[in-house]
Structures are given as structure tokens and as C-alpha cells.
């Protein structure tokens, strides 16, 4: 296994190894610290642990910036000394090359050296601060993604994906910029304090005159901060609305086009974009009102220095060098004043973004492992549903006293009208959701007492709408077992009757499918999804109408292969077609979330009229 450090400051380890297709796969070790879960803390205190995890590089950046600014602050005083002392002394005698050389060596060279040192520290500071900034951004994005993978399905049922995308991108960028650059701006502002102290040591009266505008700057900054926060929140929220619309239109492009609603969707996006534009314009208006004040009030200080300082020079109470130095210090102070306004604006936007991010990070999953949860091992596949009741959120009850038993190694078909709760039963087995009342047990163990990884390793599921990733077909099939060999992947594909069409593709198993697998037909996607589950070889298998998009001829071939594979595993088949029901040794008929009959296909046809009605209805819907 190769290992490399891909980080200028040495604080990001990325291990690499070779994936099954010969490419390189990185193993990012993840964030070194977590965002604080203490909601009583200010937002920046909650982010602080992430930044502190990069304290070495960040400290170098801050120290480098401080030293660079400190050296720059020496230059005006050096120039004052040269103008008021060295220059008159060297010009009092004959004007010779030696006199000029002496002045050059004593003053000019020193100023150049100080400038070069300040520039070197500035370069080091910028390199380290940018490295820290991008690493912090990567950590924040990783933490959000890790938390999203931890959340339950109920969260994704009610939160738009565009909102999540926006918070994982633009909101993180706002927080990262403020978190990493605000300390440097504070260092810049601290340099203004040091400059003021130096000014006091030179001429305290003139220094007080220069600082007379400071109270006004403070008032402007407070007013600006109060106005910036609400508009920053609105801007980020409306950007998320645009992201949601774009996401829906990309993922739902087939629906949009099939109903010829392109113009309506364009108008919807235009309305959302117009709202974003309004918030940006409002933001610009606030900046336009206050930023010129923050930037130009120091100029008033410069004018007062010239007025009062000129008076002092005329009456020999001060020197020309002092006036020059004070004006240079005021120029240096202008940058901190400008950055003070920028700090306020960045801070309000970061605060708004952080609170939007915390809305996700403070969300707790509905499905959690109990303390003392244990692994499900050596599964035989016995499943019991004991008076199961369930409702999605505050909606109507979907399952009402569902009770059933599935023997180890048995294949059972769930049959019922649309909305009877068949798919809900499947989702409850591996705890996508938890029952409202009652229990589900596997091998006598309540699923709520088991660790989630072991439960979901034991229960394989093929959905009616298979999802494929934008990677090769090999990687899609090997998704649950990345270490699977090509022979194992091909064996699973053959069992799912997918091998024949895969080898005809341009790159065979190395063919990269388009987003969500839409470069393949619906039946081809379903067969790859079946192969993906079969490769994991779970002891319990759930087929949720997994052959709905496959034609009858291909379905028959898949069933032939499945019959052998299902012999030694417990299988729950959610069926609409009679051909799929034929896979099962027993049928459970559902109505209104409860079991109304159970038996073989022939027994139910002979004894339960409702069964024939449901088959007729589901067959017509499937066709």
C-alpha cells in the first residue's frame, strides 16, 4: 500500500491503494475534531475545535502575519529618524558621494531589509493560512456528510436535497472563510493598536488627534452588523431554494419533458433567482451605505494630522519627519479600518451560514442503536412480526396489527393492493424506520436490540427503483463488497441474468454508467441491483418488486437462477406479478396494513376471493 502526504503544511494524510479496476482510491482519514454539540455556545465556539485541530499550521500563519505587520510598523519610525536626524546631519557638510553612500547604508539598506523580511513572513503566512482554510473546509464538509449518513430516513423525507447541497457548499464556504481569515484580520487590527502606541510615544497630542474618528467608526460598525445579519440569512436561504429547484429539475428532467413543463420550470427558477438578486442588491445597498464611511473616516484623521501637525511644525513643536511618519501610520491604519468593515460583513454571513449548518448537525436520528446493542451473527433467518403498528410521521397508520412468521430458508410473497403496506414491512425489517408499536424479531432478537451494521449486513434489499452510482458496472455490483474479484462479480451478474448485456457494452464491466444509471434501461438497472445484493450473499433477502421493469422472458430467466440461490436463505418477495409469486412457497395477503390470509397461491385462489381481486388489480396496474 502506497502512502503520500498531499499537504503543503503536513497536516492532511491521504492513504492510497489500488481499487479492483487498477485505479487509485484515496482514503481520507476524515476530520480530526468534531463540532461542539453544546447548543448554548456561540456559533464560533462550536466551530473552534475543528480549527484547533489544525493549530500548528494555523499558528504559523498567524505568527507569520503578525511578524510581517510588526516589521512594516518599524518603517515609518525609521523614516522619521532618517528625515529628522540622519539626513540633516549628513547634509550639513560637503555634498559628496561618500556622504550619499553613508546615508544609503545607514537608512535605505535597513528599510529594504526590513521590507524584505516583512514580505518573506507575509508569503509564509499566506501559504499556511490557505492550506489551513482548505483543510478546515474539507473537515466541515466531511462532518456534515458523516452526519447526513447517520440520520434516519424520516429526515430525508422532509428535507429537500437542494437545501442540503447548499448548506454543504456555500454555507460551509462562508463559515470557513470567516473562521480562518477572521483571526488574521484581527492581527491586522492589532497592528493598528501597536501603530497607535508607537504614535503616542512619538507625539501623544498628534496621536490623539489622529484617533478622534475612532468612536464614529465603532458606531458605524455596530450599525452595519445589525443590518447585515438578517439579509445574510435571507441570501443563504434563497440560494438554497435555487439549488433545490436545479436539483429537482436535473433529477426530474424526464418528468418535466414528458409533461412539456420546461417553460414553467424556467419561470420558477427565474422567480427564485430574482429573489436571490433582490437579497444581493439589498446586501450591496448596506455595503454601499456603510463601507465608504469605514474606509474614508481615516482620511479625516489624516487631514486633522496635517492641520494640527502643520501648526506644530510651523511653531517648532514638531518635525517634518514626525508628520511624514504619522501620515504613513495613518495609511497603515486604513487597512485595519477597511478590514474591520469586511470582518463585520463576513461575520454576519458566517453566523447565518453556521446556524443553517447547525440545523442539520443538531438533528438527531430517529433510528439509533441502544446502549449494549449486540451483533446479529450466524443468522438462520427466522422472522417474526408481532402486532406491528406503524405510521410515517404524524400521518395515518399504515400497518395496523400486522402479525406474521417467516421460517428460516422460506420464501414468502407479500401480496396486497397498492397502499396496503407491503413495502413498509420491508423497510421496517432492517430499521429504515422503527415500529410505532409491537416488535419485529430475527432469530428471536428484536431488531431494535441489534447493531445497525450487523442487521443490514444480514438483510439484503433490492428496491423497485434501483439506484446506480456514476462509476463502472463492476464497482456498482461490488458496492457492498469492494474487495470482490472479477470472477465473483461476474458470477453474481450471471445469476441476475445481467452478464450477457454487460459484455456487449463498449467497455464491458468497466463501462461507466451515467448518473443514476440512466444510460441503461430500467430492466438492466434492476438486474445490476439484483447482482449487487446477491454478491453480498445475505442470509435474509428482500425483493421489493425487484423485477417490475424487466420483460416477462428475461424475468423467467432471472427466476430460474434465483430459485437455486433462494434455497438456503429467507426471502421476502413483494410481488405484483403471478410469475414473481411463483417463486414463493407461501403467500401472505395484506389489506389495510394487516394480514387477512396466508397460504399457497393455489389455496388462496380457492378459498379467498379477495386474493383473486388483488391479483387482477395488481396485474392490470403492472401491465
Mean pLDDT of 381-408: 91
C-alpha cell at 9: 503544511
| Ramachandran class of 580: left when φ > 0, alpha when ψ lies in -120 to 50, beta otherwise | alpha
What are the sequence ranges of the domains in the chain? 1-28, 43-361, 383-622
| Ramachandran class of 89: left when φ > 0, alpha when ψ lies in -120 to 50, beta otherwise | alpha
Fold (CATH) for 43-361: ABC transporter transmembrane region fold (1.20.1560)
Note the maximum CA span of the chain. Answer: 127
Nearest Cα residue to 578 out of 530, 621, 618:
618
Cell 436535497, residue located = 161
Lowest mean pLDDT among 264-268, 515-519, 610-614: 515-519
- Annotate 360-394 with DSSP letters as a single string: HHTPPPSS-PPTT-B---S----EEEEEEEEESTT
C-alpha cell at 189: 487590527
Determine contact, residues 317/202, Cβ cutoff 8 Å. no
The CATH architecture assigned to 383-622 reads 3-Layer(aba) Sandwich (3.40)
Ranges of H-type helices in 82-108: 87-91, 97-103
Cell 448596506, residue located = 286
How far is residue 417's CA from residue 419's CA, in Å, rounded to a whole number? 6
- 248 pLDDT band, cuts 50/70/90, is low
Residue-wise pLDDT tens digits, 132-159 = 888 888 888 888 888 888 887 778 777 7
Q: What is the pLDDT of residue 1?
A: 33
Residue-wise pLDDT tens digits, 335-354 = 676 666 667 777 877 888 88
- pLDDT greater than 70 at residue 358: yes
How far is residue 545's CA from residue 551's CA, in Å, rounded to a whole number? 13
Q: What is the pLDDT of residue 238?
A: 80
Residue-wise pLDDT tens digits, 470-497 = 788 998 899 888 888 999 999 889 888 8
Determine contact, residues 594/399, Cβ cutoff 8 Å. yes
How far is residue 12's CA from residue 54's CA, in Å, rounded to a whole number? 9
Residue-wise pLDDT tens digits, 535-572 = 888 899 888 875 655 566 666 666 665 666 677 789 89
Amino acid at each position: 500500500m502506497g502512502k503520500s502526504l498531499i499537504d503543503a503544511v503536513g497536516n492532511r494524510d491521504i492513504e492510497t491503494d489500488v481499487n479492483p479496476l487498477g485505479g487509485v482510491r484515496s482514503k481520507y482519514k476524515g476530520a480530526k475534531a468534531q463540532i461542539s454539540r453544546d447548543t448554548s455556545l456561540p456559533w464560533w465556539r462550536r466551530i473552534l475545535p475543528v480549527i484547533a485541530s489544525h493549530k500548528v499550521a494555523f499558528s504559523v500563519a498567524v505568527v507569520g502575519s503578525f511578524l510581517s505587520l510588526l516589521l512594516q510598523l518599524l518603517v515609518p519610525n525609521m523614516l522619521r529618524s532618517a528625515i529628522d536626524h540622519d539626513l540633516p546631519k549628513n547634509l550639513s557638510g560637503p555634498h559628496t558621494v561618500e556622504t550619499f553612500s553613508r546615508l544609503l547604508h545607514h537608512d535605505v539598506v535597513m528599510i529594504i531589509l526590513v521590507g524584505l523580511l516583512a514580505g518573506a513572513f507575509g508569503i509564509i503566512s499566506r501559504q499556511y493560512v490557505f492550506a489551513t482554510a482548505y483543510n478546515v473546509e474539507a473537515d466541515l464538509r466531511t462532518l456534515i456528510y458523516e452526519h447526513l449518513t447517520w440520520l434516519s430516513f424520516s429526515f430525508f423525507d422532509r428535507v429537500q436535497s437542494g437545501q442540503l447541497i447548499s448548506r454543504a457548499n456555500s454555507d460551509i464556504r462562508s463559515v470557513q472563510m470567516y473562521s480562518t481569515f477572521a483571526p488574521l484580520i484581527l492581527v491586522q487590527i492589532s497592528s493598528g493598536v501597536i501603530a497607535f502606541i508607537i504614535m503616542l510615544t512619538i507625539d501623544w497630542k498628534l496621536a490623539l488627534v489622529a484617533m478622534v474618528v475612532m468612536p464614529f467608526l465603532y458606531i458605524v460598525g455596530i450599525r452595519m452588523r445589525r443590518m447585515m445579519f438578517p439579509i445574510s440569512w435571507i441570501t443563504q436561504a434563497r440560494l438554497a431554494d435555487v439549488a433545490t429547484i436545479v436539483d429537482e429539475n436535473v433529477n426530474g428532467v424526464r418528468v418535466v419533458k414528458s409533461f412539456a413543463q420546461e417553460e414553467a420550470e424556467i419561470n420558477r427558477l427565474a422567480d427564485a433567482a430574482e429573489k436571490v438578486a433582490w437579497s444581493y442588491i439589498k446586501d450591496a445597498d448596506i455595503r454601499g451605505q456603510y463601507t465608504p464611511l469605514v474606509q474614508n473616516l481615516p482620511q479625516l484623521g489624516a487631514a486633522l494630522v496635517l492641520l494640527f501637525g502643520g501648526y506644530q511644525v510651523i511653531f517648532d513643536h514638531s518635525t517634518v519627519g514626525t508628520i511624514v511618519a504619522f501620515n504613513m501610520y495613518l495609511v497603515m491604519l486604513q487597512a485595519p479600518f477597511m478590514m474591520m468593515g469586511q470582518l463585520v460583513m463576513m461575520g454576519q454571513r458566517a453566523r447565518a451560514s453556521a446556524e443553517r449548518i447547525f440545523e442539520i448537525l443538531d438533528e438527531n436520528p430517529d433510528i439509533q442503536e441502544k446502549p449494549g446493542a449486540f451483533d446479529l451473527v450466524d443468522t438462520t433467518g427466522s422472522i417474526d412480526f408481532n402486532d406491528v403498528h406503524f405510521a410515517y410521521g404524524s400521518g395515518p397508520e399504515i400497518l395496523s396489527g400486522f402479525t406474521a412468521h417467516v421460517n428460516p430458508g422460506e420464501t414468502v410473497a407479500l401480496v396486497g393492493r397498492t397502499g396496503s403496506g407491503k413495502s413498509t414491512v420491508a423497510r421496517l425489517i432492517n430499521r429504515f424506520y422503527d415500529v410505532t408499536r409491537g416488535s419485529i424479531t430475527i432469530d428471536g432478537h428484536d431488531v431494535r436490540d441489534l447493531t445497525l451494521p450487523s442487521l443490514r449486513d444480514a438483510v439484503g434489499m433490492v428496491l423497485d427503483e434501483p439506484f446506480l452510482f456514476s462509476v463502472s458496472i463492476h464497482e456498482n455490483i461490488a458496492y457492498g463488497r469492494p474487495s470482490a474479484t472479477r470472477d465473483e462479480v461476474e458470477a453474481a451478474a450471471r445469476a441476475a441474468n445481467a452478464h450477457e448485456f454487460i459484455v456487449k457494452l463498449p467497455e464491458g464491466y468497466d463501462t461507466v454508467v451515467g448518473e443514476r444509471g440512466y444510460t441503461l434501461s430500467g430492466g438492466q438497472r434492476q438486474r445490476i441491483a439484483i447482482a449487487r445484493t446477491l454478491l453480498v450473499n445475505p442470509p435474509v433477502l428482500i425483493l421489493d418488486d425487484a423485477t417490475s421493469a424487466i420483460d416477462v422472458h428475461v424475468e423467467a430467466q432471472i427466476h430460474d437462477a434465483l430459485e437455486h440461490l433462494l434455497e438456503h436463505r429467507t426471502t421476502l418477495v413483494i410481488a405484483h406479478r403471478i410469475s414473481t409469486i411463483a417463486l414463493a412457497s407461501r403467500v401472505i395477503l395484506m389489506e389495510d396494513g394487516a394480514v387477512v390470509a396466508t397460504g399457497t397461491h393455489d389455496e388462496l385462489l380457492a378459498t379467498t376471493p379477495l386474493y383473486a381481486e388483488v391479483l387482477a388489480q395488481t396485474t392490470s396496474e403492472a401491465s
